C-alpha cells in the first residue's frame, strides 16, 4: 500500500493579470520529492462537483462559501480564512477513512500525483493522456512523466521488432509486427501531444498557476521530442524493411523449392532408362504457381523477378538510411554529453573559486576576532 502525501496550503499569492485573483499554493510532500501546485478557488468548486459525480456521493466536507461582496484580493483576512478552510478541505479528503473520493481520477489529476501514488495507475495514466490531449493538464512534471512513457513505448517497439527478426514461424512474425505497429502508433500520439504541450508551456499564454519554462529547459525538452521522433521514424523504416525482406525471402524460397523438385524429377527419369523416360517439362508446373505469377507468361515472370530485385535494393537503401539516422542520434547524444561535461567542469571551477574566497574571508574574520 502506498503512503499518502502530506498536503498543505502554506501561502497565497495574487495573479498579475489585468483582473487579479488569489492563487493558493498547494504543497505536496511525497516520500521521494516535494512539489507545489497553484490553484484558484474556481478549481476547487469544479473539483467538488466532479468528486460528487465520480464517487456517486458528496464529499464528507464542504467548501468555504463564495463571497459576493468582498474579494480575497482586497481583503487579506478573507484570503487567510479561505486558505485555512481549503487546506482543511484537502486534508480531510486525504485522511478520510472512506477512500472513494481520493481514489477518483479527478482528485489525482487535481493534485498531479505521480503514477506510483495511486492504486489505479493505469486508469489515472489514461486520464492524464486524455487531459494532455485536450490541453487541460500542462504541468511540467506531468510532461516528464509522459516523456518517460514515450521512451518506454519506443523501447517496447524495438523489443517487438527484435522478436520478429528472431521468430521462425510466419505467425510469430505477424504477431510481433502487429505489436510493434501498435507501440509506434501510440508513440506517434505521445510525440504529438508532448510537442503541443511544449508550445503552451513556453508561451506567454501559459495557463494560470503554471510556471513558464525557461529557454534552456524548453530547448532541452524540444531536443528530447525531436530525438524521440527520429527514433520512431527509424523504427518504422526498420519494420518496413523487415516486411519487404520477408516477402522477398518467401518468393525466393518458393522458387528454389520448385527448382529442386524439377531437378529431382529429371534425375529419377534418367535412372529409369530411355524407354520409360518422360519428356522434360517445357512449361511451368501447375499447382506451384503463386497469385502473382499465375496470370503471367515466362517473360512476365522474369520481369516480376527483376522488379522484386529492384525493390530489395530499395529496401536495403531504406535500411541504410535508418542506420544512418541512428548513427546521427548517437553522435548528437555524444555531443550533448560533452557539453554537459564542460558545464560540470565550469561548475567545479566556480566552486573552487568560491571556496578560495571563503577561505580568505574566514582568515580575515579570524584576524579581526583576535
Q: What is the pLDDT of residues 279-327, one digit of tens each?
A: 555 555 655 677 777 677 778 788 888 888 998 988 998 898 888 888 8
Q: For the whole model, what pTM was predicted?
A: 0.39
In the β-sheet with 22-29, what is the strand arrangement from edge to edge?
Answer: 6-14, 22-29, 34-39
**pLDDT tens column, 319-332:** 988 888 888 888 88
- Nearest 5°: the CA angle 32, 36, 41 is 140
295: exposed, middle or buried (Cβ count in 10 Å: 0-12, 13-18, 19+) = exposed
Give the range among 207-211, 258-262, 283-287, 297-301 with minimum mean pLDDT: 207-211
d(CA 26, CA 28): 7
Contact 107, 93 (CB under 8 A): yes
Alpha carbon 20 to chain centroid distance?
A: 36
Mean per-residue pLDDT for 1-22? 85
What local confidence, expressed as pLDDT, does residue 22 receive? 93
What 3 state SS string does the chain have?
CCCCCEEEEEEEEECCCCCCCEEEEEEEECCCCEEEEEECHHHHHHHHHHHHHHHCCCCCCCCCCCCCCCCCCCCHHHHHHHHHHHHHHHHHHHHCCCCCCCCCHHHHHHHCCCHHHCCCHHHHHHHHHHHHHHCCCCCHHHHHHHHHHHHHHHHHHHHHHHHHHHCCCHHHHHHHHHHHHHHHHHHHHHHHHHHHHHHHHCCCCCCCCCCCCCHHHHHHHHHHHHHHHHHHHHHHHHHHHHHHHHHHHHHHHHHHHHHHHHHHHHHHHHHCCCCCCCCCCCCCCCCCCCCCCCCCCHHHHHHHHHHHHHHHHHHHHHHHHHHHHHHHHHHHHHHHHHHHHHHHHHHHHHHHHHHHHHHHHHHHHHHHHC
What local confidence, expressed as pLDDT, does residue 370 receive? 75
Contact 52, 60 (CB under 8 A): no
- Residue 166 pLDDT exceeds 60: yes
Amino acid at each position: 500500500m502506498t503512503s499518502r502525501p502530506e498536503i498543505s496550503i502554506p501561502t497565497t499569492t495574487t495573479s498579475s493579470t489585468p483582473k487579479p485573483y488569489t492563487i493558493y499554493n498547494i504543497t505536496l510532500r511525497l516520500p521521494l520529492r516535494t512539489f507545489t501546485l497553484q490553484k484558484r478557488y474556481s478549481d476547487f468548486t469544479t473539483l467538488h462537483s466532479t468528486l460528487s459525480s465520480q464517487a456517486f456521493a458528496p464529499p464528507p466536507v464542504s467548501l468555504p462559501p463564495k463571497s459576493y461582496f468582498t474579494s480575497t484580493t482586497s481583503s487579506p483576512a478573507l484570503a487567510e480564512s479561505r486558505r485555512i478552510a481549503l487546506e482543511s478541505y484537502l486534508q480531510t479528503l486525504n485522511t478520510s477513512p472512506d477512500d472513494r473520493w481520493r481514489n477518483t481520477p479527478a482528485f489525482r489529476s487535481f493534485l498531479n500525483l505521480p503514477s506510483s501514488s495511486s492504486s489505479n495507475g493505469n486508469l489515472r495514466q489514461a486520464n492524464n493522456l486524455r487531459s494532455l490531449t485536450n490541453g487541460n493538464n500542462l504541468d511540467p512534471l506531468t510532461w516528464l512523466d509522459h516523456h518517460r512513457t514515450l521512451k518506454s513505448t519506443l523501447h517496447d517497439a524495438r523489443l517487438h521488432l527484435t522478436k520478429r527478426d528472431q521468430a521462425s514461424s510466419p505467425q510469430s512474425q505477424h504477431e510481433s509486427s502487429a505489436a510493434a505497429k501498435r507501440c509506434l502508433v501510440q508513440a506517434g500520439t505521445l510525440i504529438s501531444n508532448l510537442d503541443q504541450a511544449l508550445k503552451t508551456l513556453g508561451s506567454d499564454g501559459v495557463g494560470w498557476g503554471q510556471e513558464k519554462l525557461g529557454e534552456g529547459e524548453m530547448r532541452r525538452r524540444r531536443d528530447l521530442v525531436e530525438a524521440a521522433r527520429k527514433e520512431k521514424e527509424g523504427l518504422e523504416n526498420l519494420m518496413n524493411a523487415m516486411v519487404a525482406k520477408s516477402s522477398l525471402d518467401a518468393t525466393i524460397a518458393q522458387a528454389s523449392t520448385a527448382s529442386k523438385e524439377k531437378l529431382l524429377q529429371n534425375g529419377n527419369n534418367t535412372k529409369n532408362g530411355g524407354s520409360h523416360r518422360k519428356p522434360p517439362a517445357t512449361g511451368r508446373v501447375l499447382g506451384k504457381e503463386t497469385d502473382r505469377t499465375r496470370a503471367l507468361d515466362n517473360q512476365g515472370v522474369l520481369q516480376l523477378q527483376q522488379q522484386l530485385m529492384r525493390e530489395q535494393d530499395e529496401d536495403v537503401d531504406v535500411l541504410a538510411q535508418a542506420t544512418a539516422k541512428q548513427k546521427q542520434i548517437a553522435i548528437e547524444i555524444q555531443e550533448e554529453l560533452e557539453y554537459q561535461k564542460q558545464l560540470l567542469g565550469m561548475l567545479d571551477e566556480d566552486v573552487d573559486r568560491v571556496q578560495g574566497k571563503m577561505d580568505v574571508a574566514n582568515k580575515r574574520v579570524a584576524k579581526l576576532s583576535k
